[in-house]
């Protein structure tokens, strides 16, 4: 009977998806707006702070569950989990959202990322806004970022696997005590909307594997998704509530991580960590983590080799502690690694809270353990007013807590259209280690801080360096640092283009 029930949900999903695909290019008889509300996720705790409703324009309002997820408020250096809320649905066209705040009056309300330009309408204890494209949002009442509501407005799924296919591991709506699932080559794992899978997926020495769906992978005490020594792996659409790393990619090739969401509230609960891998795409993710959101490393543990061609794009990163982006801490002193051809584009960074001065930086390139970091490009990075930390931290260093030697260097770094609006940023740091381990050829183009373009051509007292105007500390062993306004960029200043993951 359970199999039959899951199959009915699968057929219903196919009908919704077919309607949505037809609506995108069909005639006037097919409505342009489609909305899919998934079955309630049994076993997922609820949060009654918010009541959430959604509809297509002109249709009836439909309530969607508000689930409880833990997020991290650091107090005096200690992790202090807080009760936040999470709702999700799929749509195409236009969706209207109505949020009731059940704890009292609304003095202020905002919807982030602010780059989305969503200005909510507030009446009494109700917040209303509309969406015209898929997005991941934070609805915050009275400035409260810990007891907020995250809304995951997913695109409609374009393809779902057949649950009767022997190459499909299918989890329908309901609770599944899965434990550790070792995924074989050629397999597709599907978590349907309404599925709560308690366990982890191990993808080890295999190829052609997919993890898909709109379900939730919940409370794994190990790495929730562990991808090791594998090729052609896709993870798409699921939400992860981990007690450790969300995704760990080690010594793998051709990995795509798309539209996943993660919420964590404990120590070492990273988002996505990449070790010694090639051709990795991270696209459209929403990571709210209590440690690094995106970390890219060389050697550690059983992983060996360089890192090449990693792309992170179209994503939102929220570090309740540590770094939104960290590159380079771990490597192989005896056989040094190179981390190169890295690209970060179209990102919103919503927060950093890191009291440890030596571990700050929303954009942090820290070369240790003999690592050489080179050919890195940042494009269209929007940083909102984080609570405590630095905007950038580019250092060749020797962190004796984690390293056995300093890194070899950092070179050919291009940062274009980096914006920060806020007042809490500490001094950013750019520093080499010695004459043999330098930071070289770092170019900022159109660095905008609180609306002001920072450029070597800007008007300033002659005794000031441009870095002073940006509140950047530039230490020893740095050469080729430039600040350009848009239009000044010589072609030779840009690092070699990043290859597209295959």
Q: Which residues contact 323 (CB under 8 A, 6 or more apart)?
A: 292, 293, 295, 352, 354, 359, 360, 361, 362, 364
Confidence class for position 76, pLDDT limits 50, 70, 90 = confident
* Region 136-141 average pLDDT: 98
| Pair 296, 244: CB distance under 8 Å | no
Least confident of 109-123, 216-230, 483-497: 483-497
pLDDT digits (tens, 9 = 90+) for 367-420: 999 999 999 999 999 999 999 999 999 999 999 999 999 999 999 999 999 999
Tell me whether residue 334 is exposed, middle or buried, using C-beta atoms within 10 angstroms of its C-beta: 0 to 12, 13 to 18, 19 or more: exposed
| Pair 157, 188: CB distance under 8 Å | no
Q: Which residues contact 444 (CB under 8 A, 6 or more apart)?
A: 415, 416, 418, 454, 470, 482, 483, 484
344 pLDDT exceeds 70? yes
425 pLDDT exceeds 90? yes
Q: Taking the CB of residue 234, how many other CB atoms lie within 10 A of it?
A: 17
488 pLDDT exceeds 90? no
* Region 267-276 average pLDDT: 96
pLDDT at 26: 40
The phi-psi region of residue 488 (left if phi > 0; otherwise alpha if psi is between -120 and 50; otherwise beta) is alpha
4 DSSP assignment: H
67 pLDDT exceeds 90? yes
| Pair 432, 394: CB distance under 8 Å | no
SS (H, E, C) 272-321: EEEECCEEEEEECCEEEECCCCEEEECCECCECCCEEEEEEEEEEEEECC
Strands 261-263 and 239-241: parallel
pLDDT digits (tens, 9 = 90+) for 224-236: 999 999 999 999 9
Q: What percent of the chain has pLDDT over 70?
A: 91
The SS3 call for residue 25 is: helix
Q: How many Å from the N-terminal Cα to the C-terminal Cα in the chain?
A: 41
* Region 200-212 average pLDDT: 98
| Pair 350, 113: CB distance under 8 Å | yes
- What is the average pLDDT score of the chain? 92
Q: What percent of the chain has pLDDT over 90?
A: 87
169 pLDDT exceeds 90? yes
pLDDT at 320: 96
Report how far residue 210's alpha carbon sits from residue 255's, in angstroms, rounded to the nearest whole number: 10
CA gyration radius, the chain: 23
Q: Residue 154 is encoded by which pair of tokens? A: 């997913």
pLDDT at 489: 54
* Region 459-466 average pLDDT: 95
Confidence class for position 221, pLDDT limits 50, 70, 90 = confident
Dihedral angle computed from the Cα positions of residues 327, 330, 335 and 339, in that order, rounded to the nearest 10 degrees: -10
Q: What is the DSSP string of 419-476?
A: EE--S-EE-EEEE-SBTTB-EEEEEEESEEETTEEE-TTS---TTS-HHHHHTEEE-S
What are the beta bridge partners of residue 280?
A: 255, 310
Report how far residue 348's alpha carbon sits from residue 138's, in angstroms, rounded to the nearest whole number: 12
The SS3 call for residue 356 is: coil
pLDDT digits (tens, 9 = 90+) for 22-51: 333 444 455 689 999 999 999 999 999 999
14 pLDDT exceeds 60? no
Confidence class for position 1, pLDDT limits 50, 70, 90 = very low
pLDDT at 410: 98
Strands 428-431 and 472-474: parallel
Alpha helices (H) along 40-166: none
Least confident of 28-32, 218-222, 311-315, 452-456: 28-32
Confidence class for position 130, pLDDT limits 50, 70, 90 = very high
Domains of the chain, each with CATH number or no CATH: 2-155 (2.60.350.10), 245-493 (2.160.20.10)
pLDDT at 30: 53
Confidence class for position 95, pLDDT limits 50, 70, 90 = very high
Report how far residue 227's alpha carbon sits from residue 225's, in angstroms, rounded to the nearest whole number: 6
Report how far residue 376's alpha carbon sits from residue 494's, in angstroms, rounded to the nearest whole number: 10
* Region 111-115 average pLDDT: 98
274 pLDDT exceeds 80? yes
pLDDT at 12: 39
pLDDT at 490: 53
182 pLDDT exceeds 50? yes
């Amino acid at each position: 009977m359970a199999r039959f029930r899951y199959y009915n949900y699968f057929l219903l999903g196919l009908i919704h998806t077919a309607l949505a695909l037809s609506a995108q290019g069909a005639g006037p008889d097919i409505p342009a707006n489609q909305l899919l509300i998934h079955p309630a996720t049994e076993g997922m705790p609820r949060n009654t702070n918010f009541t959430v409703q959604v509809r297509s324009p002109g249709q009836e309002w439909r309530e969607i569950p508000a689930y409880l997820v833990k997020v991290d408020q650091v107090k005096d250096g200690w992790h202090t989990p807080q009760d936040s809320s999470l709702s999700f649905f799929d749509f195409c066209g236009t969706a209207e959202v109505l949020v009731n705040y059940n704890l009292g009056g609304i003095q202020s309300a905002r919807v982030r990322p602010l780059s989305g330009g969503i200005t909510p309408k507030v009446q009494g204890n109700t917040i209303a806004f509309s969406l015209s494209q898929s997005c991941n949002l934070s609805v915050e009442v009275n400035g409260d970022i810990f007891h907020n509501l995250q809304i995951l407005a997913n695109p409609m799924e374009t393809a779902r696997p057949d649950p009767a296919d022997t190459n499909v591991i299918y989890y329908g709506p309901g609770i599944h005590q899965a434990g550790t699932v070792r995924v074989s080559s050629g397999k597709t794992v599907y978590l349907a909307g309404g599925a709560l899978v308690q366990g982890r997926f191990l993808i080890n020495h295999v190829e052609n594997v997919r993890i898909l769906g709109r379900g939730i992978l919940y409370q794994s005490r190990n790495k929730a998704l562990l991808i090791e020594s594998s090729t052609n792996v896709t993870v798409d659409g699921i939400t992860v509530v981990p007690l450790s790393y969300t995704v760990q990619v080690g010594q793998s090739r051709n990995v795509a991580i798309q539209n996943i969401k993660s919420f964590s509230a404990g120590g070492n609960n990273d988002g996505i960590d990449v070790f010694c891998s090639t051709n990795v795409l991270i696209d459209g993710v929403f990571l709210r983590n209590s440690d690094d959101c995106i970390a890219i490393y060389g050697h550690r543990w059983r992983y060996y080799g360089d890192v090449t061609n990693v792309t992170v794009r179209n994503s939102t990163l929220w570090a309740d502690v540590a770094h939104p982006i960290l590159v380079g801490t771990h490597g192989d002193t005896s056989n040094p690694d190179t981390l190169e051809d890295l690209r970060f584009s179209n990102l919103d960074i919503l927060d950093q809270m890191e009291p440890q001065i030596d571990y700050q930086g929303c954009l942090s390139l820290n070369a240790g353990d003999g690592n050489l970091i080179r050919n890195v490009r940042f494009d269209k990075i929007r940083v909102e007013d984080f609570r405590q930390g630095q905007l950038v931290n580019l250092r060749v260093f020797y962190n004796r807590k984690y390293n056995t030697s300093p890194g070899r260097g950092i070179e050919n770094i291009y940062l274009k259209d980096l914006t920060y609006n806020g007042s809490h940023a500490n001094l950013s740091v750019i520093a080499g280690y010695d004459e043999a381990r330098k930071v070289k050829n770092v170019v900022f183009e159109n660095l905008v801080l609180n609306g002001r373009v920072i450029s070597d051509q800007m008007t300033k007292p002659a005794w000031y360096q441009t870095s002073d105007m940006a509140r950047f500390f530039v230490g020893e062993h740095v050469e080729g640092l430039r600040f350009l306004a848009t239009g000044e960029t010589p072609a030779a200043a840009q690092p070699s283009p990043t290859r597209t993951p295959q």
